[in-house]
Amino acid sequence: MESVTPPSERFTRTHQVARRERAQTVAKWVFGAMSLAMVLPLVAIIVYLLYKAWPSLGWEFLADIPRKGMREGGIWSAFVGTLYLVGLSLAISAPIGVLAAIYLNEYARESWLNRLINMAVINLAGVPSIVHALFGLGAFVYGARFGFSILSASLTLAIMTLPVIIASTREALSAVPRAFRDACANVGATRWQTIRAVVLPNSISGILTGIILQVSRAAGETAPVMFTGAVFFKAVSRGDLFPYRLGDQCMALSMHLYTVSTQVPNVKESIPYATAVVLLGSVLLVNASAIVLRIWLRGRKKW
Amino acid sequence: MGAPRPQRPKASIAIERIIEFVIRLSGVSAVFFVAAIFFFIFREAVPVLWDPDFDFAEFLFSKEWYPTSVNNVRYGTFALTIGTLSVTGVAIVLAVPFGLGAAIFISEFCSPKIKETLKIVIELLAAIPSVVWGFIGLTVMSKLIVSVTGTAVGVNLLNGGFILALMSVPVIVSIGEDALKAVPDSYREAALALGATRWETVFRVLLPAAKNGLLAAVLLGVGRAVGETMAVLMATGHAVQIPHGLLDSVRTLTANVAAELGEAPAGSSHYRVLFLTGVLLFAITLVVNVAADLAVRGIRRK
Amino acid sequence: MTASRLAIEVSDLRVAYGTKEVLHGISFDVKENEIFAIIGPAQSGKTSLLRCLNRTIDQVAEASVTGTVKIDGLDVRRVKDVFALRRKVGMVAPLPVGLPLTIFDNVAFAPRCAGMKARGELEAIVERCLRQAALWDEVKDRLGSLGTALSGGQQQRLTIARALSHDPEILCLDEFSIAIDPVTTMRIEDVLKELQSRVTIILVTNLVQQARRLADRTMFLWNGDIVEVGSTDVVFSDNPADRRTYGYVNGIFG
């Protein structure tokens, strides 16, 4: 590569060095621009949606129900429906997911069952949402005869979020050093005593973050609820916090966005934009709070 | 040793037993749920295989999809498969260079502050629901495409590919960054000690060392693109045809299920064929995920 | 209490991880209230041996154990309550592990797990154990701060205090001086000599001089076999039973 240089010229900048440094600078700027190309869409999208949605945005839009065939009014029924679906589905999947992760990480030995569960979790996490929709339809709506209902839709969402909760909880649990568990075993603590005193308190932040992130995922999913329990329109009264029962169908924010933007003609232009802003805003808010929580708890790490 | 050893109260031992039982039950339930998914999708799909109107070869290789025709019912998903492949292809061509470039930038070139910020942006980008992406494709992107290219319809292959690229990039960046992070620092130090610039270190040392993980990143990006439903349903324009250019409308396997499942009467052949499409999708993503998992394990073993 | 009662009887103990056998059927006894040193180079199976004593080897999935280990005449593998066994056999790991709890909770953890609740009793135990581990004076004003925030040497003494907190009859120390300075090591060695009247101590060490200073009897373990076990004076003399012992002790091989 480089020829032998006489002592007097060592450490001086040759053309080659300058060229190599130029290549480095160019690489840095190109990659930097590529990264910027991801930041810009996020900002541009949010700004544009806000701009278009502005005429409709306001508390009134959130608290009012859709009127005149969804061409006017607000999104209350859909918003509450999404709260129901997300709340119920996580009430099911979070405990099962966390406990399953505890089993896998703390109890299970290396065995075929454990490998099977691992494989299942990995694959389940990659199953397309429309396949979950098919499963929900086949298993809960028809198979278990729950019909098109909040229950069916929530169960479908729960199964969908389960593997991700298992995976994120396991990650949080395995971040607790093995030495702590050994130390506890050495003084005669049972596994559960170890888990309760040492493992859980030091992984709870990671576990919670994982669950919170699934809140936003469940809220944004459309296909799985569209065929299992969410409907185009459901009459509820304005501002009613408890309009639905388990066996009812409900509206959902994500599906409402799909409906007003593709299925309903002559909608006031700002309504779909405002719906998108509310959905996007809630999701990003939830995610941002998970991130803040994580950063805050990381600062209090104990080892 | 004098004093008697303390005894744990019986109640606390009993409670512990119960908790451990519930934990075990939950662990095994994960397998049960996966088995249930297999079972129920297959159960709804399988009867169609014995339907006289249905031909499996036709299902895979015919481009004629007339599920509701009165006298000429055809269940060919070839055009849909091509639709999925083409949209995924466009997305990957756009997303891979940007995703890997950003992963390299985040991992190797930027300051910790910028790194932290970019990672948060990526996380937020990944959190945007697919229906919102679809809406963006339908409105913003479609107008953009019409005004730039002068084509008649803005919802098409290019639009869907673009949206999917934006959706896959966060996956590629975060997994790719993990892969680069997994390369030991001693490699970097050794390369720098030999007089390599940072760029040369990346190009000659890090990329070869992290290639399995980067492959996994790309595969998971592909997996996300193949399985995506709502965004492509809204942004690709929905015509069952084999596209001849970037500005043709297409329909993907996923979008097709989403569009027609609501109208197919439960138990009909049409309904079962849609479930069969689900099996096909399941199989595709299974292969992609297992491949990505193997690639990731490849690096761990090193 | 007769001085020569056996605290531990090991006979034909074999341990294998998968197909790799690390202990090839060893047999020895440890008398009550003696300090029994185990010396030998790395990878000679010392830690595996200790893990058989309190059955933490159960947690290693691929490990298989044959032969018997009796503690107080009782086969450890017949023990029903393995947690009680572990409380009876205190264990100090090579690297200090302060649990991410307060200093007080670190030491009170074991008694609490065993079912003790009264604050007064716990306080007494914490103070006694921290004093025994020569840590009390340094931490008595900040028992509420985190154990993980202590220095390495302090954490090692905290680990010893924790091992004493459940009143073990046997105390195993696995290369406890790896992470601490010589002065602290000497202080802990003094503590061990004091404890000897109440506790049987098994001291795994790769500092042969430490064994010479402390142990009543010493065992030289090499590649999973016992080369020699006997009185420390004999093992460290110019004429041990096996030439390899002389070589190892004097730094000629190993």
- Phi and psi at residue B251, to the nearest 5°: -135, 140
Assess whether pLDDT exceeds 70 at residue C4: no
At how many degrees (to 10) do helices A270-298 and A15-53 cross? 130
Backbone conformation region of residue C12, classed left if phi is above 0, alpha if psi is from -120 to 50, else beta: left
Highest mean pLDDT among A67-76, A294-303, C163-172 belongs to C163-172
Residue B7 maps to a domain: no
Find where tokens 């349903």 sit: B233
Is A110 exposed, middle or buried (CB count within 10 Å of its CB: 0-12, 13-18, 19+)?
Answer: exposed
Residue B100 maps to a domain: yes
Residue B1 maps to a domain: no
Is A20 exposed, middle or buried (CB count within 10 Å of its CB: 0-12, 13-18, 19+)?
Answer: middle
Q: Assess whether B29 and B149 both reside in one domain.
A: no
Domain total for chain B?
Answer: 2
Q: Assess whether B229 and B287 both reside in one domain.
A: yes
pLDDT band (50, 70, 90) for residue A10: low
Q: Would an 8 Å CB–CB cutoff place B24 in contact with chain A?
A: yes
- Residue C97's nearest CA partner among A194, A207, A298 is A194
Q: Assess whether B40 and B182 both reside in one domain.
A: no
Q: How far apart are CA C246 and CA C254, in angstroms?
A: 11
Output the pLDDT for position A6. Answer: 66
- CATH number of domain containing B248: 1.10.3720.10
Output the pLDDT for position B300. Answer: 55
Q: How far apart are CA A275 and CA A267, in angstroms?
A: 12
Output the pLDDT for position C2. Answer: 47
Partner-chain contact A280 B128, CB within 8 Å: yes
Question: Which chain B residue shows the shortest CA-CA distance from A144?
Answer: B40
Residue B130 maps to a domain: yes
pLDDT band (50, 70, 90) for residue A5: low
Residue B58 maps to a domain: no
Q: How far apart are CA B73 and CA B52, in angstroms?
A: 11
Q: How far is CA A190 from CA A82, A103, A105, C82, C167, in A?
A: 41, 14, 15, 9, 17
Q: Assess whether B27 and B134 both reside in one domain.
A: no
Q: Assess whether B40 and B97 both reside in one domain.
A: no
Q: Would an 8 Å CB–CB cutoff place C162 in contact with chain A?
A: yes
Q: Assess whether B202 and B82 both reside in one domain.
A: yes
Q: Assess whether B142 and B214 both reside in one domain.
A: yes
Output the pLDDT for position C103. Answer: 92
Element of type H or E holding C125: helix C119-132
Partner-chain contact C167 B5, CB within 8 Å: yes
Q: How far apart are CA B34 and CA C233, in angstroms?
A: 65
Residue B56 maps to a domain: no
Output the pLDDT for position B193. Answer: 87
Q: What is the pLDDT of residues A133-180, one digit of tens each?
A: 999 999 999 988 898 999 999 999 999 999 889 989 998 999 898 889
DSSP per-residue codes, C163-216:
HHTT--SEEEEESTTTTS-HHHHHHHHHHHHHHTTT-EEEEE-S-HHHHHHH-S
Q: Assess whether B144 and B267 both reside in one domain.
A: yes
Residue ranges making up the domain that contains B19:
12-50
**C228 and C216 Cβ atoms separated by less than 8 Å:** no
* C70 SS3 class: strand
Q: How far apart are CA A208 and CA A294, in angstroms?
A: 9
Q: Assess whether B281 and B238 both reside in one domain.
A: yes
pLDDT band (50, 70, 90) for residue C200: very high
Residue B175 maps to a domain: yes
Q: What is the pLDDT of residues A63-96, one digit of tens each?
A: 777 777 777 777 888 899 999 999 999 999 999 9
Q: What is the pLDDT of residues A54-63, one digit of tens each?
A: 888 888 788 7
Mean pLDDT in each 10-residue stretch from start to end of chain B (302 residues)? 63 90 88 84 88 81 81 84 92 92 89 88 89 91 87 86 91 90 88 86 88 88 88 86 83 90 86 91 85 73 50
**C172 and C204 Cβ atoms separated by less than 8 Å:** yes
| Mean pLDDT confidence for A208-232 | 88
Q: What percent of chain C has pLDDT over 70?
A: 98
Which of A109, A180, A187, A205 is the best mutation test for C, with the most CBs of C within 10 A?
A187
Cβ of A185: how many Cβ atoms within 10 Å? 23
Question: Which chain B residue shows the shortest CA-CA distance from C116?
Answer: B6
Residue B144 maps to a domain: yes
Output the pLDDT for position B2. Answer: 41
Q: Assess whether B89 and B159 both reside in one domain.
A: yes
Q: Assess whether B182 and B288 both reside in one domain.
A: yes
Output the pLDDT for position C94. Answer: 81
Q: Which residues of B touch C111 (CB under 8 A)?
A: 6
The full set of domains in chain A, from first to last, is: 76-299 (1.10.3720.10)
pTM: 0.85
| Mean pLDDT confidence for C130-148 | 88
Question: Which chain C residue shows the shortest CA-CA distance from A108?
Answer: C61
Output the pLDDT for position B285. Answer: 85
Output the pLDDT for position A2. Answer: 53
Q: Assess whether B86 and B220 both reside in one domain.
A: yes
CA angle, A179 then A184 then A185, to 5°? 95
Q: What is the 3-state secondary structure (H, E, C) of chain B?
A: CCCCCCCCCHHHHHHHHHHHHHHHHHHHHHHHHHHHHHHHHHHHHHHHHHCCCCCHHHHHHCCCEECCCCCCCEECCHHHHHHHHHHHHHHHHHHHHHHHHHHHHHHHHCCHHHHHHHHHHHHHHHHCCHHHHHHHHHHHHHHHHHHHHCCCCCCCHHHHHHHHHHHHHHHHHHHHHHHHHCCCHHHHHHHHHCCCCHHHHHHHHHHHHCHHHHHHHHHHHHHHHHHCCHHHHHHCECCCCCCCCCCCCECCHHHHHHHHCCCCCCCCHHHHHHHHHHHHHHHHHHHHHHHHHHHHHHHHHC
Output the pLDDT for position A82. Answer: 92
Q: Which residues of C touch A202 (CB under 8 A)?
A: 100
Q: Would an 8 Å CB–CB cutoff place A23 in contact with chain B?
A: yes
**A234 and A253 Cβ atoms separated by less than 8 Å:** no
Virtual torsion, Cα A155, A161, A163, A169, nearest 10 deg: -120
Element of type H or E holding C36: strand C35-39
Q: Which residues of A touch C85 (CB under 8 A)?
A: 188
